[in-house]
Amino acid sequence: MKTTGYKTGKKGGFTIVELLTVMSIIILLISLLVPALTRVRRYAQFVKQKAQFHSIGVALDLFNSEQEGYPPSDRLDTAPAPGPFSYCGAMKLAEAMVGQDLSGFNPNSVFRRDGLDATGTTDLYFPNPGTGNVNFPLYVENMKSRRMYLQLENANAYRLTEVYSTAHRAGTNYADTALSPEDANRVLCDVYTRTMATGLKTGMPILYYKADTSKILHAEPNTVCTVANNNIYNRCDNQELVDIPLPWVTPKGPVHPMASAGSTILGMTANAGIFYQKTRDKKISSGDSKPYRADSYILISAGFDGEYGTSDDVFNFDE
């Protein structure tokens, strides 16, 4: 006898409950995976930033050996009236490492923003201004004396006008006065790249502070920016840059947490004393507080978030 089969009318496949279950599992796995990948990416950038600091450190030690001292980091240059001009630690670091024109440091430099010598008459970086007034022998001797301490591929050297838009610079302590077409406002930028309001994709300027070994303290001063204090490091050395709002936010965005005390944009109040808190050597718990690297210099990267004074800042020392 032939057996008669009956069709139930059901088709094979996922039910809506099974589909939702699979989707929930996928979403759960993604939620676990994305933070892990972000942490790996941040750590990779942190290692890359430390490597950049190591390269700069080697170059600075070579500079110190050949020039008998580390580059200065004070916030102004030596130009007489109508100077001095804003020429802070980050800018002086760039000049020392690659020169104002990216052709090497001139050992006759007195770290003037306009690139002139101590007399204010000889241009140390651009002595070949145009046709009809070319002193070629001077130019040749100038280039022979140059020293490139940091290779350009490791420098990330940019003009401030490429990092900060005119709107961001306006109204800050840093006045972008155009002294010449070859303006000396170059800085070395960190590895945490983002697209700035200028359209350029780069990192934030690396802050450079030289230790004053004649001083003994490391405490937040209750005065405006001045050299008249007993601190080994002066947070004012780069305050012109720290006071410029975040350069990728348009219109002009919030200030850095480490900006000048009392600075407010979009309701955020800054505290310049953060510099002394973050650079204090926490291994020294008794007596007067001391900074890390009290005998040399400090480098600071704004880190992943691009803000100076937050928890992800990177230093050339181990906290």
Closest C-alpha to 186, from 99, 250, 314: 99
Integer Cα distance of 228 and 223 in angstroms: 9
β pairing state of 194-195 and 297-301: unpaired
Q: What is the pLDDT of residue 124?
A: 86
Residues 249-300: tens digit of each pLDDT: 887 778 899 988 666 555 556 788 899 999 999 887 666 789 999 999 999 9
Q: d(Cα 4, Cα 267) in Å, to the nearest integer?
A: 81
- Could you give the 3-state DSSP secondary structure of residue 291? strand
- pLDDT mean over 36-54: 86
Mean pLDDT of the chain: 83
Percent helix / strand / coil, the chain, rounded to 5: 30, 10, 60
Question: Is the predicted pLDDT of residue 192 greater than 60, yes or no?
Answer: yes
- Report residue 41: phi and psi, to 5°: -65, -45
Least confident of 86-95, 219-228, 308-317: 219-228
Distance between CA atoms of 105 and 63, rounded to whole angstroms? 10
Tell me what pLDDT residue 172 has: 66
Per DSSP, the three-state class of 195 is: strand
Query: Tell me: the pLDDT tens digits for 63-102?
Result: 999 999 999 999 888 888 877 888 999 999 999 999 998 9
What the block records as the tokens of 5 is 């089969």
Helix (H, G, I), strand (E, B) or coil at 19: helix
